[in-house]
Amino acid sequence: MPARPPDCVKDCFPVGRAPSAGELAPDPAVPGESMLRSYSTCLYGSYYYVFFFFVAVHKFFWFAPDVLTESVIAAACSRVGQSVLHLDRRNYYAGNWASFTFNGLLSWIEEYKNQQEVQITELEQVWRSLIDEGEDAVPLSTVDSSISNLEVFCYASEEEEETKAPLTSFQPVNAETVSEETNGDSTEAQDTVTGDDATASDAKTPNEEHEVSEPKEEQHTSDISEPSQSQEEKESQLISSPADPPVEVEKKITYQKLVKEGRRFNIDLVSKLMYSRGALVDLLIKSNVSRYAEFKNIGHILTYRNGKVEQVPCSRADVFASKQLTVIEKRMLMKFLTFCLDFEQHPEEYQDCTEKPFREFLKNKKLTENLQDFILHSIAMVTQQTLTEEGLKATQHFLRCLGRYGNTPFLFPLYGLGEIPQCFCRMCAVFGGIYCLRHSVQCLVVDKAANKVKAVIDTRGQRISCSHFVVEDSYIRDEQRQSTAYRQISRAVLITDRSVLPSESDQLISLVTIPPLESSAPAVRMVELCSSSMTCMPGTYLVHLTCSSSGRAQEDLAPVVSQLFHVSTIPGEEPSEGAEERSKPAVLWVMYFNMRDTSALDSSNYSLPSNVHVCTGPDGSLCSDYSIKLAESVFHHILPDEEFCPPAPNPEDIIYDGDGPQAEGPGFDESTNTEEDKSQAEEEGAAHEKSPSTESSEPAEMDSVTQQAPSDTTPPSEE
Amino acid sequence: MYVTGICLFLCSCQHGRVKIKSTAQQEEEKRKEREKKLKAFVSARDAVLKKRSAGEHDEEALQLTRQLLSSNPDFATLWNYRREVLLHLETLREKDEVQKLYESELHFIEACLKVNPKSYGCWHHRSWVNTRLPQPDWTRELGLCDRCLSLDERNFHCWDYRRVVVKESGVSVEQELQFTDRLIGSNFSNYSSWHYRSTLLPQLHPQPAPDPAPNTSPSPTASPQIHSHRVCEEQLLKEYELAHNAFFTDPNDQSAWFYYRWLLGRAEREEMISCVYVSREKRRVSVAFSKPVHAQSEGLMLVLDGQPQQVQWRSAHPRFRHSPVWLCDLPPGSVSDISNEHNLTVHWTEKHTHRDCALYTGEMSESWCRDSATDQELFRSELSVEKSSVLQAELQSCNQLLELEPQNKWCLLTIILLMRALDPLGHEKETLAHFQTLKEVDPMRSTYYSDLCSKFLIENTILKMEYAEVRVFSLSNKNLTTLCHLDQLLLVTHINLSSNQLLRLPPQFAMLQCLEVLEADDNAIESLEGLYHLPKLEEVSLRNNQICKLSDLESLASCTKLTRLDLRGNPVHKTANIESELNQLLPLVTALSL
């Protein structure tokens, strides 16, 4: 099987594991390998004859936009030989598929609150001169309004080790305090985030975050002498409260610690898992993109029932081991699941119920309450209203995914979901796609007669021609929309100190389905990530909650959070209300927000030229199949005769025209440069210090070509 | 000018498409690669073999064999050579260095195991290295086994090696039981783990010594069965639960069912002499044992009226070296006087057991002494160890499962066995119905089920016969396909097997030493091998069977009392001169029907 095995398989022998041959070897065609770990945004267009300019500029600065659909389309187009320019819109990474470090997320929160829509009139002056007769300009939105109701609460102890008591008082407990404090530092935050060098920004953020959340006078001492102080803290606590077992003292995680270890976090705005036989995994395998990532199998499927977190018996081994089920229930469950596996073969079993809800069908099957709950909420993961056939299909899909990579049907990419779009970006780049960071498009240039986009005008006032334009929904201004009513997803991101269901291994990823607490409320899906998933620091768990919104995210999700976790009233307070509270994991930090779910929209919802393809944002479902299917359909719309993501060849099978890895080399050598071009190139080179002088000629040449070259696929330009 | 340049460039890389080597190119490359490897391998192999025949035991030999074995770990000769080299190096080095030498060897084997986890040579070499290692690290070895088994839980090489490691490292039985818990938990379709469990449980939770006053015993006499390798009841109940969980989850998985059968218990019968029969007229003693024995080597001794007798023991049929029934002839005149009472004792010296039999005065021409099958609960033995209350509860569970899975063969079969253990006669009707279902749902094994059903019917008939205290065995029209428990029919005088599906009268039939009348009409009997030296057989009826050849009837000539023979409806009557030939073969038969 071409897919990389889950990590559990890899370490089969205690010593001397051989590295997997060649798979992760740097590819000569991908520059800036070490900078792949980054977060960014999301605009991409399919371009002809302009891309060399960007190659030169961004040769050493290769940032990956993080929107799954767009990056898959880009990779697919690039793979079949199309020229792709993938632009990053904002000056800050905010794509809804992004993964953030803890510090990055804090900065993002600030950035988010401060963003403002630029008035069209201001922009218009820039592009007026570039628009010709018979052309129209369609401006794009500069504000991402897909996130709303953002609220942050911190419960981790803020205590500085030596001065515990006085500090507690000013610690922010509600969102207002946090935002006020952070607002003051917003400019610095911006600087950090927009820095060219990823490592520089990473190195800078911890300091800066200290400022955000702490009084300034405390900052420096804590920075310099943290390790020794934490040691002191341990000792002093041991002395002060001898009744506490030492283990607990060691476990205690302060806010400073979170910030200090912030780079160990990879916090996704979108929470999804990969069905091991879902569209995404199939695509990763088919296209050989899987070689760029590693995955971890989800260890636990849990549910919350009768006030307890319980394991959901879904695989054969689970059913066997389950203690909640009677043997009769075990048989009934297995029998039902076996039936679901090929339910199409037994239409007589469900024919009478096709018009009825799945829940009723389960009742008709004489399954006990227990089993009905397990199947409906945790296996099929559908609602009370879902019809029988859909429920059966969902159950079947779940079951078919079992056992491919382990005892649960799900995989999670190490380092967070943001890895997946990056893998596709990487493939896109391998096949010549160009990536630009902090380079956005102001408006589209539309040929009025054909109602087609013929060019775009970027934020530097350059006009770049293109034949197709793919864009995320959040970039579309309301003027281009038929309707502005959206569904919303409620999200919460928590950092906790232990797992909701401790087991032999503390390094398991768990999926917890929480049936509606009241009948009107939506079911909540929770994914608890352990530190070995590379999304949080050791000793913590990163918990994502998702549900379809009925109101503000905090209103939707806080009741669930308080059911499952210990939410202290005073930061850093130890749970004390008896054994029950103590057994729950404590919340250290939590963020609530609503995210716009545009997945129900299609092209009829926008009034846009026909060669503009809108990628609707992440949907609320557990898997990414929606995005992949959308990518495939857009791709076929752009290139009806091409194969979608055929397997990428092995590096050793690629022929480099006999002269080195840079196929484009000879083309540039013969070119001559004008002075004007040169100076522009030098400017670019200066902006990105690493651009070597030998390549400075390329952008100029290409730039001039842009204005002249006719294309074999696009209509001839005005010259 | 720019335009042309660019266009040329674009053409050369086909609009940005990456050029890929064709399949033929790739294959050619691979072929060349393989050839190169083969050449290198062959030359290295030749070099190693040359070194070995030259008796060189040096580092270079280790290096060369290492190269070869890491690509082909199944080359046993090279492992042997390696051992020779290692043994030689061992003599030259300090203890510390030896430890290091062998440790690096273990690392190397590990790499080879990755190439082939089922290489005999590798695993053997690993065991050997551990015996040579001054300070073997068994924990590490155990870890290795666990990892291998997590990759392939049925790798028997690893299971074997693990047994060695566990033995050497003294891992506690509790830990091992937890190990099986873990393996069964991750996949219960793994009979290796279940079986391992069955060997651990009796060590960890042995059954307490049997109570000297068995009030709970259903029979008034003490049960003559030994219950070894048993587990205490408390633990047993937990194990039943575990097995239930498995077969309720997946009733088609046989591992759990087999384990369950083991849990239900299989009694081992005590080795004893179950019957001694003496016939005055024939001066013959027949001895039946509880299991097949080889009398000549077991020290069987016959004492008649206090006098040890020199007798020749023979099995009921010359075919058997081991047999549950042995015969001997008493010296002439030793028991012919009907006015004398004789006391006979058969001693089984090997097992320190004996059985007496008295031949009283008077007209009685025979005498016997025996344990009846009913007293011994003989036919419950397969599942008779447990208390009936436990078995009753288990039967209930299985019936629950059967309700949900009426077609499940494992469940049906287990129910049949449980019913037999509880009350074979009371459940006869249900048992037969279940057998019928079994044959329908599992036609591939219908013959097996028929044979098993025949066995149970015979057992039931024997029980009924003994309750009635008669010597007549009648089992007609029951679809019998096979005959068994014939040693239990030693005393039977009349037997009726008509209208069944028997194909032959097997050699064991010769154990029916008292048989006078045999009715076996309407079967498909082809062979009469078992009608051999039956001293009292007078009448045989074999109408409508499949006896084809005269030679099939030859064994009848050894039955000296046979006078009536009915062979109507057999193909043999077509043989030319059949009547005269038969008269010649069986001159004593006076009433012959053809």
Query: Residue A692 region, left (φ>0) first, then alpha (ψ -120 to 50), else beta?
Result: beta
Contacts of B96-99 spanning 24+ positions with Cβ under 8 A: B98/B132, B98/B134, B99/B133, B99/B134, B99/B135
Tokens of B338: 């009907």
Q: Tally C-beta pairs within 8 A across A and B.
A: 116
* Residues of B in Cβ contact (< 8 Å) with A670: 5
Contact check, Cβ <8 Å, B250/A655: no
Q: Is the pLDDT of residue B425 over 70?
A: yes
Element of type H or E holding B118: none
How far is it, in rounded angstroms, from Cα A217 to Cα A259?
17
Query: Dihedrals φ, ψ of A412, to 5°?
Result: -135, 135
Mean pLDDT of B72-98: 91
How far is it, in rounded angstroms, from Cα B2 to Cα A716?
16
How far is it, in rounded angstroms, from Cα A708 to Cα B60?
70
CB-CB: which of A14, A321, A334 is closest to B147? A14
Query: Residue A461 region, left (φ>0) first, then alpha (ψ -120 to 50), else beta?
Result: left
* Residues of B in Cβ contact (< 8 Å) with A710: 3
Whether residues B192 and B65 share a domain: the answer is yes
Tokens of A198: 């990823």
How far is it, in rounded angstroms, from Cα B261 to Cα B191?
13
Q: Which residues contact A187 (CB under 8 A, 6 or more apart)?
A: none
The pLDDT, as a whole number, for residue B442 is 94
Asked which of B462, B485, B510 is the last residue of a domain, the reply is: B462
| Residue reference for tokens 């290409």 | A702
Q: Indicate which of B6, B21, B22, B70 best probes the interface with A, i.e. most A CBs within 10 Å of its own CB.
A: B6
Identify how many contiguous H helices and E strands chain A contains and give both numbers: 26, 21
How far is it, in rounded angstroms, from Cα B102 to Cα B132?
8
The pLDDT, as a whole number, for residue A413 is 94
The pLDDT, as a whole number, for residue B377 is 63
**By the 8 A CB rule, do A193 and A238 touch?**
no
Tokens of B357: 């039999």
Mean pLDDT of B4-15: 34
Q: How far out from the chain centre does Cα A635 lie? A: 21
What is the 3-state composition of chain A as percent helix, strand, coil, each rounded to the nearest 5?
40, 20, 40
Residue B245 forms part of a structural domain:
no
Q: Which residues contact A335 (CB under 8 A, 6 or more apart)?
A: B404, B405
Whether residues B295 and B200 share a domain: the answer is no
Whether residues B453 and B476 share a domain: the answer is no
How far is it, in rounded angstroms, from Cα B567 to Cα B591?
11
Q: Is A664 on the interface with B (CB under 8 A)?
A: yes
Closest-CA residue to A206 (of A100, A94, A101): A101
Proportion of chain B above pLDDT 70, given as a percent: 90
The pLDDT, as a whole number, for residue A525 is 94
Q: CA of B436: how far to CAs of B205, B439, B452, in Å? A: 39, 5, 12
Q: CA of B353: how far to CAs of B135, B210, B289, in Å? A: 52, 21, 11
Mapped to the 3 state alphabet, what secondary structure does A290-331 carry?
HHHCCEEEEEEEEEEECCEEEECCCCHHHHHHCCCCCHHHHH
Query: Dihedrals φ, ψ of B383, to 5°?
Result: -135, 40
User: Count of CB atoms within 10 A of residue A536's CB?
Assistant: 25
Query: Dihedrals φ, ψ of A575, to 5°?
Result: -60, 135
> Helix (H, G, I), strand (E, B), or coil: what is residue B549?
coil
Residue B255 forms part of a structural domain:
no
Q: Indicate which of A13, A504, A650 best probes the interface with B, i.e. most B CBs within 10 Å of its own CB.
A: A13
**By the 8 A CB rule, do A75 and A623 touch?**
no
CB-CB: which of B2, B151, B397 is closest to A704? B2
> Helix (H, G, I), strand (E, B), or coil: what is residue B558?
helix
Whether residues B75 and B194 share a domain: the answer is yes
Q: Is A657 on the interface with B (CB under 8 A)?
A: yes
Whether residues B112 and B201 share a domain: the answer is yes
How far is it, in rounded angstroms, from Cα A274 to Cα B144?
31
Residue B66 forms part of a structural domain:
yes
Residue B28 forms part of a structural domain:
no
How far is it, in rounded angstroms, from Cα A142 to Cα A478?
12
Whether residues B335 and B427 share a domain: the answer is no
The pLDDT, as a whole number, for residue B46 is 93
Residue scoring higher pLDDT (B376 or A413): A413
Tokens of A40: 């960014």
Question: Residue A456 class from Cβ within 10 Å (0-12 exposed, 13-18 middle, 19+ buried)?
Answer: buried
Contact check, Cβ <8 Å, A317/B17: no
Q: What CATH code is carried by the domain that includes residue B534?
A: 3.80.10.10
How far is it, in rounded angstroms, from Cα B383 to Cα B389?
13
Whether residues B414 and B517 share a domain: the answer is no
Opening angle at CA A481, ends A476 and A485, nearest 5: 105
Please give the residue range of the domain that contains residue B77: 44-205
Residue of A nearest to B190 (CA): A317
Given a cut of 50, the residues of chain A with pLDDT beneath it are 1-66, 91-94, 161-250, 659-719
Q: How many domains does chain B have?
A: 4
Closest-CA residue to B395 (of B428, B423, B374): B423
> Helix (H, G, I), strand (E, B), or coil: what is residue A661?
coil
Closest-CA residue to B268 (of B239, B291, B296): B291
Element of type H or E holding B462: helix B446-468
Q: What CATH code is carried by the domain that includes residue B294?
A: 2.60.40.1130
For residue B383, the number of C-alpha atoms closer than 13 Å in the C-beta half-sphere is 24
Residue B552 forms part of a structural domain:
yes
Per-residue pLDDT of B253-277, as tens digits, reads 999 999 998 888 766 677 888 899 9
The pLDDT, as a whole number, for residue A648 is 82
Tokens of B510: 């010769």
**By the 8 A CB rule, do B52 and B80 touch?**
no
CB-CB: which of A81, A670, A710 is closest to B14? A81
The pLDDT, as a whole number, for residue B379 is 63
Average pLDDT, chain B: 85
Residue B5 forms part of a structural domain:
no
Beta bridge pairs of residue B323? B293
Q: Is A334 on the interface with B (CB under 8 A)?
A: yes
* Residues of A in Cβ contact (< 8 Å) with B186: 317, 407
How far is it, in rounded angstroms, from Cα B416 to Cα A381?
42
Res. B374 pLDDT band, cuts 50 70 90: low
Whether residues B435 and B520 share a domain: the answer is no
Residue B211 forms part of a structural domain:
no
Q: Is B574 on the interface with A (CB under 8 A)?
A: no
Beta bridge pairs of residue A137? A445
* Total residues found in chain B within this entry: 594
How far is it, in rounded angstroms, from Cα A49 to Cα B340?
127
How far is it, in rounded angstroms, from Cα B401 to Cα B397?
6
Whether residues B454 and B510 share a domain: the answer is no
Whether residues B398 and B282 share a domain: the answer is no
The pTM of this model reads 0.72
Handedness of CA A373, A378, A381, A383 (dihedral sign): positive
Mean pLDDT of B85-100: 90
Res. B105 pLDDT band, cuts 50 70 90: very high
H helices of B187-272, where? 191-204, 233-249, 254-264
Mean pLDDT of B378-399: 73
Whether residues B54 and B201 share a domain: the answer is yes
Tokens of A686: 């200066």
How far is it, in rounded angstroms, from Cα A616 to Cα A70?
10
Q: Is A30 on the interface with B (CB under 8 A)?
A: no
Asked which of B400, B430, B462 is the last residue of a domain, the reply is: B462
The pLDDT, as a whole number, for residue A516 is 87
Residue B240 forms part of a structural domain:
no
Per-residue pLDDT of B175-229, as tens digits, reads 999 999 988 988 899 899 999 999 899 888 887 765 444 443 333 333 434 445 6
How far is it, in rounded angstroms, from Cα B39 to Cα B45?
10
For residue B389, the number of C-alpha atoms closer than 13 Å in the C-beta half-sphere is 4
Question: Residue B123 class from Cβ within 10 Å (0-12 exposed, 13-18 middle, 19+ buried)?
Answer: buried
The pLDDT, as a whole number, for residue A14 is 32
Asked which of B345, B368, B391 is the last residue of a domain, the reply is: B368
Residue scoring higher pLDDT (A243 or B167): B167
| Residue reference for tokens 């009608």 | B531
Q: How far out from the chain centre does Cα B202 lie? A: 20
For residue A50, the number of C-alpha atoms closer than 13 Å in the C-beta half-sphere is 24
Q: Which residues contact A227 (CB under 8 A, 6 or more apart)?
A: none
Whether residues B186 and B48 share a domain: the answer is yes
H helices of A139-293, where? 164-168, 175-183, 186-194, 198-213, 216-240, 246-251, 255-260, 279-286
